[in-house]
Structure 1
Amino acid sequence: MTSTLADSPAAGADTGPGRPGRRPVPVARILHMELVKQFSAWRVRLLLLLCWVGPGLLVFVIDQQSTLPSDTLFGRWMHATGWAGSLVVLGVAGTWVLPLVTSMVAGDVFASEDRLGTWRHLLVTVRSHRRIFAAKALAALTVIVLLVAGLALSGVVGGLLAEGNQPLVGLDGHLLGGGDAAGEVLLAWLCALAPTLALAAVGLLGSIALGRSPMGLLLPMLAALGMQVAQLLPLPVAVRLALPGYAFISWNGLFTDPRQLGPLLIGVGVSALWAVVATTLAYLLFLRRDFTNLNNDGAGRRTLTLGVLPQVALLAASVGVVAVATDSGGSGITQAKVQRSLATAFAHLYRFQQAEMRRPTVSEAQLRTSAACDKSEGLGPQEGPGNDWRCTVTWNVPGYNATAQAVYQLDVSANGRYIADGDGPVQVNGYFLIVDAGQPDPNPLWQLDGNVDLLDG
């Protein structure tokens, strides 16, 4: 019974009106059976428990500590608002948790039948490769969406219980009220779902092509690791944005004003395209697989022709389209962009600092903030990532006919995110606390996070 014979009327496959043969099993019934299989597995139950309970507990416990994960995006604001905790969870999940989830679920949904030797029983019962593939893919999708929803909601609940619905400070220093923060956090998790589905499709492909081999299970994790390494390299912007994993990073643009939507939309679109292409390739491999040979638990040489080469071609095409559509080149990190971003963030946070110290409200027009930055002390090209950016911020002191300056050391990553460390004066940004009426408060200007739009001309 080859894959062709299994779907033929002679083998009792899908039959039309007037054709003899058994009535095909509905997809809904097969899907129910696959969901029972998924939720019966101990690893899926453990993942559900960890995803729905773990992030909330972790965020709540961290919020009770005096030391925060300030090296993590939004980690320094976990004592200020409950919305920061879910974003910290999202940053960690995009790096490790979501690739692991896709490996454990999608990477095993077909390979489990190879390990148990149940393909013949399943094919005889269902008699339709198409329905089996659809049911297994939908079952994996359902479980993955439940796991992602658990991560998002658990982190939100844990943060709100610990710190409440306080305003969230964005990446350029502007404040988002509780309602706005809730919407942006939800949208960020929805955007992260796109690269998760792309990895899940890669998992389906590996599960079919590699069968019982552990490499099929590890394929999404290896793909995610490869994309993370690539994001650390000094690659051109077009290559960086053409990788489906970039959407795990580009949600940062939702927390600037105005939003940096260009990289985000490209990242989500590329991820969606990869999900469709990888799922289609997995489907074609599944239809062509020979289930009569018990020694053959994979697609053989078709793995290269239908699995690897089309995705390499897709990556090359994506790079070309992004390069032409965005007219982008180089790293996307220039001196002018760094200066503009830091000046904007400083102006927003200076007003926030003044409000904490109960001083008169000032406007950004009154501050007239500007920044002058140089890389490597002005030697070499003034562009690109690195921890050797040094900036001097200048602003007009409200109420006085004078200007003031503050110095920052910047560590700019290849994806545009940077951390600015204050280097004086002490009363402005040189110490992590500000004291007002004997009461110490965190100094928002001591360290600040920012984001350079790689596509902003």
Structure 2
Amino acid sequence: MSATDVLTGRPTAAGPTTRRRPGLGSALRWESRKLRAQLRVKALLGGAVLVPIAVVVVMHSQPRPPKDTLFGRFALDNGFAMALLVLGFAVQWVLPLLTSIVAGNIFASEDQHGTWKTVLTRSTSRATLFWAKTVVSVAFALVALALLAASTVTASLLIVGRQPLTGLSGQTIHAQRALELVVASWATMALPMVGFTCLALLFSVWSRNVAVGIAAPVVIGLVMQLVGALGGIESLRPFLLTTPFEAWHGLLAEPRFTGPLLDSVVTSAGWSVVCLAAAFLILRRRDITGG
């Protein structure tokens, strides 16, 4: 058959129509749209803003400071100490859970709804879909961390105050410098957060189960913290993914030491690369003919 050009009226040869698969940009927009439509995601981001305010209010109303925690002795009288106290609490399980709820679900949900066959045979390639889901998961983790940090620091300073901070070495840190160090301390959480995101992605791909993808990274994080608290394992601690959560301590000492921060870059990057590589290989070899 031949078709007629609507402008010239001349016949044109009709050939087979080739349809290109969507690229990474299209996959990213689609995964972002799916994520924004989920009530769970909206609740998590809303909680990242509202929960720290409630925590600061409740802790500030306590008659006695939690002296057995880092910066707890000054938390009721100093907003910077309060923000660091909340940070010390959040790294125990809040941050791993916050990112795992999305990353641990993003691949496993395709298994839960039986949509792998439809997505991969009609929409996009495995590699494109894998990287789109990975980028969206990491972006969510960083946005959630930024909201949590901003809400905590703002609430702490407004409710408790901007008095000079007493550092870990007993030195006095003036308000402006204290603010910079508190923000930097929260910012150091980004690398281990990405590491736990990649760990959750691995469990999401491997287990094909939403509950496992969400719970496993949190449980592993708690186990790592327990192992890291044991004596006689100093050679093992730098390789634990929870160790980078403690790297900010060097910023509040005098003189400051940044060795743990450099180690956290290597540790977090190592875990991220290994987890992503394993997840990609598992997904690449998966049989999707069943759905």
TM-score for both structures, normalised by structure 2 = 0.89
Amino acid at match of 2:254: D
Q: Distance in 2 between matches of 1:267 and 1:29?
A: 33
Q: Distance in 2 between matches of 1:217 and 1:244?
A: 17
Q: Distance in 2 between matches of 1:24 and 1:244?
A: 37
Alignment of 1:261-410 (within 5 A): 261-294=258-291
Q: Distance in 2 between matches of 1:265 and 1:56?
A: 32
Q: Distance in 2 between matches of 1:85 and 1:124?
A: 52
Q: Which structure exhibits the higher relative contact order, with contacts defined as CA atoms closer than 8 Å and separated by 6 or more residues?
A: 2
Aligned-residue offset at 1:213: 6.1
Q: Distance in 1 between matches of 2:83 and 2:122?
A: 44
Aligned-residue offset at 1:239: 0.8
Aligned to 1:374: none
Aligned to 1:142: 139
Amino acid at match of 2:204: S
Aligned to 1:75: 72
Q: Which of 249, 262, 270 is 1:252 aligned to?
A: 249
Is residue 203 of structure 1 aligned with residue 200 of structure 2? yes
Larger-gyration structure (1/2): 1
Q: Distance in 1 between matches of 2:74 and 2:180?
A: 18
Give the match's secondary structure for 1:237: coil
Aligned-residue offset at 1:199: 1.1
Change (3 A) 1:69 1:268: farther
Alignment size in residue pairs: 276
Q: Distance in 2 between matches of 1:245 and 1:30?
A: 32
Aligned to 2:150: 153
| 1:73-126 alpha-carbon deviations (Å, 9 max, x no partner) | 112212332112221121111101011112211111100111111112211332
Change (3 A) 1:199 1:235: farther
Q: Distance in 1 between matches of 2:60 and 2:89?
A: 16
Aligned to 1:26: 23
RMSD, aligned CA: 1.8
CA contact (8 A) 1:72 1:88 kept: yes
Amino acid at match of 1:173: G
Q: Distance in 2 between matches of 1:196 and 1:63?
A: 28
Aligned-residue offset at 1:194: 1.3
Is residue 225 of structure 1 aligned with residue 222 of structure 2? yes
Aligned-residue offset at 1:188: 1.3
Amino acid at match of 2:257: Q
Q: Which of 79, 93, 96 is 1:96 aligned to?
A: 93
Alignment of 1:160-199 (within 5 A): 160-199=157-196
CA contact (8 A) 1:85 1:158 kept: no
Aligned-residue offset at 1:162: 1.2
Q: Distance in 1 between matches of 2:19 and 2:45?
A: 38
Give the match's secondary structure for 1:22: coil
Q: Distance in 2 between matches of 1:213 and 1:181?
A: 41
Aligned to 2:105: 108
Q: Which of 119, 123, 144 is 2:120 aligned to?
A: 123
Amino acid at match of 2:50: V
Amino acid at match of 1:140: S
Stretches of structure 2 that go unaligned for 5 or more consecutive residues are 1-15
Aligned to 1:238: 235
Aligned-residue offset at 1:189: 1.4
Amino acid at match of 1:185: V
- Between structures 1 and 2, the one with greater strand share: 1
Aligned to 1:58: 55
Q: Distance in 2 between matches of 1:75 and 1:277?
A: 36
| 1:294-336 alpha-carbon deviations (Å, 9 max, x no partner) | 4xxxxxxxxxxxxxxxxxxxxxxxxxxxxxxxxxxxxxxxxxx
Change (3 A) 1:132 1:66: same
Amino acid at match of 1:257: E
Aligned-residue offset at 1:132: 0.5
Amino acid at match of 2:117: R
Q: Distance in 1 between matches of 2:239 and 2:19?
A: 47
Give the match's secondary structure for 1:80: coil
Give the match's secondary structure for 1:60: helix
Q: Distance in 2 between matches of 1:58 and 1:219?
A: 26
Give the match's secondary structure for 2:286: coil
CA contact (8 A) 2:105 2:210 kept: no
Q: Distance in 2 between matches of 1:173 and 1:263?
A: 20
Change (3 A) 1:48 1:213: closer
Identity of counterpart residues, as a percentage? 37
Q: Distance in 2 between matches of 1:60 and 1:177?
A: 24
Aligned-residue offset at 1:20: 7.6
Aligned to 2:130: 133
Q: Distance in 1 between matches of 2:164 and 2:23?
A: 49
Amino acid at match of 2:124: R
Aligned-residue offset at 1:187: 1.5
